[in-house]
Structure 1
């Protein structure tokens, strides 16, 4: 047995001192009110009753038993001391009742709120019971109103002391006297999150997959020619996590607009309307239903449904839909929180790596370059071969430093909440193109609606990898970057006029594998094809765009 488990708990000095002081106080008050030293035997009995509470205060049985014994002795002694008082009648109970604060305060400071309430209840019962059983004759005056008033006064004071002690304990913990509650809570939550992440498959915590399943499930219980799941993205806007229907809908994604979507978000109640919730709709008969996805007290998303008939969503239909959305809201909240935690952890790790590279390897390589420059300055004219070797080494160091700086830029690049995905991709392509001598051609088409933050981050990394591959391995002179975002559809395309993918080095193929993994993570498609007359085209496509498919289909028909 270890020392920590085998050692007996020592009496707490504060608890023992408080009892000694209070025993001395009530002894003096008892002598003053009764002028009878024989009444001090109650004080002795009270001291004996408190021994277990002091000597074994942490014991599961002896500690509480000692405190209950103290309360019982106080209740019995109060009526006897009051009966023996020479002045004040029943008010003589005040001589011993102050001791009641000791066991109650100790229980509160030990986080035993239930025990404290039990002690208070036992004290009240004992006080009244002992008064009723004190005897007959003049002693019956103990049950008169003044005695009851004294008992009630001290019981109320004891209850207030119990509450104050508990509050003080919580304040001390918040200020660091106790366990660090924020960190303890964070540790508990992160431990649970780790357990969930290990037990559940990845698709279970995918907001897009959960949203698609919800749309499909709802369309089996009510008619919905168009449906979508929207969630908050910050800045008072919504993002489309999933949608389905006969055609694409440009959903209203602002929360300050006059729409059923904004009303459902604000009120957390289902909203019906006789007009479409799209920002551009041809009109006609439309029934719209917007159901908030509420987890606890927090709105995590909205389910928007539309049917091209009037009166499609009566109260019964709304009830069927909410029966499906209630359990789905909690699943979606868990997926969104997990996605956010994963993004924060990933971004933090990228920033940490960038700092380490900048402060470590990059600085050391710069010093190596300076050393080579100094060596070149001291080389004699007859050492041409040495000078040439040093110049070659200096050029290689310069190249490595440039690579590191571009890697740092890539690690620190993020999608700005206000700038958007297209702006982030364009900035990266321009910076890399300028450093590598590439002519960059940009084609950007981004709607005001936004993709989920995690999806934008993955698309940015795919674009960065494609640009890096073209710069490192293609030997290209031109780079074409196309970014088309129309949520939930997106397509990023990077083309070059280099030597083609067949002749790329193994590390370039490793980059392609990384891009494929990222695309699969956001349920996208990675397409790699040769570019004519030379070069390679790498594209990632997310979702579908019926509008564009129709345009391509009509163009193909005209060509035939």
Structure 2
């Protein structure tokens, strides 16, 4: 903008409309009070005085000066109109009521512009001018200031304007305090995540592992009360519970539905310990049983349940229940912190995977497709198919097609997640079938998944391990068949991926990097990973989470 160019302030439409309306109202009320059209010249003077404040409200001195002139003229007009009304109707209050409503205009303008001190000064100037004008004006040989109607109406409007100004100032303070005490969502999220990072760095890794916390809690509880079977359950999607840890001589198919009519559902809803004379497992054969279900409550939220069962009657009297609840109360807070940490980590990981998938799809993948089109166009210009250039272009086109296929499979892997309702086995099966079709592999699936679910973080890590094993078999093993086994019996799970390729010893170096990633993922969920040869040829990758006496043939070694 040139230096000589100046922005001429324009009147605000609302301010102009308010002044016009109030001036018209004052004019009508003045005519009704005095029945003298000559008194309208005060209205015209008031309109002229208000022009500077209307046209230049933002100027440092002109705006306040114009509003000050407005209230002075307003007070003088009030005194004059009141004196005329008194002569005609013997009521000075009627004339004052005709003009003083205009006082709302300058006071409202100062309140909207947060100039509360200026508003207070305007009220003081108005009051002082009304007093001086009333003291200097005589009506029927009597000072106007001594008339009760004039004083009462003037004081009434001054008090009302002062209260309005004070209310506007208080409201402004409340809004400002709320805006300061309630930061923006991203600022609040940054503060909380910063605290989470600090806590995560200070605490040992095991203290933020829900499975480790649950196992330790069961071990402590078994020193206080008899427990032939026990489990720690936590909430999952779809109104179901997942088994975080379990103890006992055998696997137990615990009741995990919160909609069922069971002591588990009652304890969850009531947040109170429950005892029962029957097992909370759907697979229990019968006999005398004592069950104790203790909710893990952190604050006002139920984060989990502890279930203890003994194969005797009356194993959990009130004193035992009291001792158990005394131990579970502090454990609930630790478990909630671990579950929240797992959830935040899972959300961040999934979001990052989706972001990478979008960037690869919109960036490298699209560029490679354009490169492929360019090679096709170049190949179309070669007239001799036996030419060495044509052969080189065909080989290059095949390599580009192979890379695009790899990218598409990588995108599918990044976007794959364990569905809340489908389960881990369904996610692994879908990935294995898709990769098998693209790689020319015959896929053999063996799926055995119970209705109970593993924790979401465990399912996610097992899916990634299975994906890595399947991808390695397709890319490096040179196999024709792929066997995928998935057995889930929470908190136990076993995933096996086998191929009939040339074996792990002959695979490329980048395949070993994938094995290292699988080992890290297995360690993160406290699982056991084994890579072993398959007879007569090929490789088997197995990962096991939890333990099960019924499946003691599963190897227990770590790669």
1:362 aligns with 2:463: no
CA positional deviation for 1:453? 0.7
**Is the CA contact 1:476–1:499 (under 8 Å) kept in the aligned structure 2?**
yes
The one of 287, 291, 294 equivalent to 1:288 is 291
**Is the CA contact 2:114–2:169 (under 8 Å) kept in the aligned structure 1?**
no
- Distance in 1 (CA, whole Å) between partners of 2:357 and 2:222 is 47
The one of 471, 474, 484 equivalent to 1:468 is 471
RMSD: 2.9
1:268 aligns with 2:271: yes
**Is the CA contact 2:263–2:280 (under 8 Å) kept in the aligned structure 1?**
yes
- State TM-score, norm by structure 1: 0.72
- Please give the secondary structure, in 1, of the residue aligned with 2:236: strand
User: What residue is the counterpart of 1:344 in the other structure?
Assistant: 347
Change (3 A) 1:542 1:30: farther
User: What residue is the counterpart of 1:450 in the other structure?
Assistant: 453
CA positional deviation for 1:424? 0.5
Aligned length in residues = 433
Change (3 A) 1:316 1:30: farther
- Distance in 1 (CA, whole Å) between partners of 2:286 and 2:546 is 26
- Distance in 2 (CA, whole Å) between partners of 1:419 and 1:325 is 33
1:416 aligns with 2:422: no
Change (3 A) 1:89 1:296: farther
**1:320-335 aligned within 5 A:** 320-335=323-338
| Larger Cα-atom Rg | 2
**1:95-244 aligned within 5 A:** 99=162, 106=169, 109-110=172-173, 166=174, 173=179, 180-244=183-247
1:316 aligns with 2:319: yes
CA positional deviation for 1:222? 1.7
User: What residue is the counterpart of 2:438 in the other structure?
Assistant: 435
**Is the CA contact 1:85–1:92 (under 8 Å) kept in the aligned structure 2?**
no
- Structure 2 residue runs of 5 or longer lacking an equivalent are 1-109, 137-145, 555-559
1:480 aligns with 2:483: yes
The one of 507, 517, 532 equivalent to 2:520 is 517
- State TM-score, norm by structure 2: 0.72
CA positional deviation for 1:546? 1.9
- Structure 1 residue runs of 5 or longer lacking an equivalent are 1-10, 38-83, 111-165, 554-560
User: What residue is the counterpart of 2:117 in the other structure?
Assistant: 16
**Is the CA contact 1:231–1:238 (under 8 Å) kept in the aligned structure 2?**
yes
User: What residue is the counterpart of 2:94 in the other structure?
Assistant: none
CA positional deviation for 1:187? 2.2
Change (3 A) 1:510 1:14: same
1:400 aligns with 2:385: no
Change (3 A) 1:178 1:229: closer
CA positional deviation for 1:17? 2.7
CA positional deviation for 1:18? 2.7
The one of 249, 252, 271 equivalent to 1:249 is 252
Change (3 A) 1:328 1:36: farther
Change (3 A) 1:329 1:371: same
CA positional deviation for 1:180? 4.9
Change (3 A) 1:401 1:36: same
Change (3 A) 1:231 1:377: same
Change (3 A) 1:92 1:288: farther
Moved more, 497-506 or 539-548: 539-548
Change (3 A) 1:341 1:267: same
User: What residue is the counterpart of 1:535 in the other structure?
Assistant: 538
- Distance in 2 (CA, whole Å) between partners of 1:31 and 1:515 is 92
1:372 aligns with 2:360: no
The one of 498, 501, 514 equivalent to 1:498 is 501
- Distance in 1 (CA, whole Å) between partners of 2:265 and 2:335 is 19
User: What residue is the counterpart of 1:53 in the other structure?
Assistant: none
**Is the CA contact 1:30–1:95 (under 8 Å) kept in the aligned structure 2?**
no
Change (3 A) 1:433 1:95: closer
- Distance in 2 (CA, whole Å) between partners of 1:272 and 1:85 is 85
Change (3 A) 1:468 1:382: closer
Summarize deviations over 1:52-79 as a string: whole Å, max 9, x none: xxxxxxxxxxxxxxxxxxxxxxxxxxxx
CA positional deviation for 1:91? 13
Moved more, 335-344 or 217-226: 217-226
CA positional deviation for 1:237? 0.3
**Is the CA contact 2:123–2:158 (under 8 Å) kept in the aligned structure 1?**
no
**Is the CA contact 1:433–1:440 (under 8 Å) kept in the aligned structure 2?**
yes
**Is the CA contact 1:272–1:287 (under 8 Å) kept in the aligned structure 2?**
yes
- Distance in 1 (CA, whole Å) between partners of 2:182 and 2:325 is 42
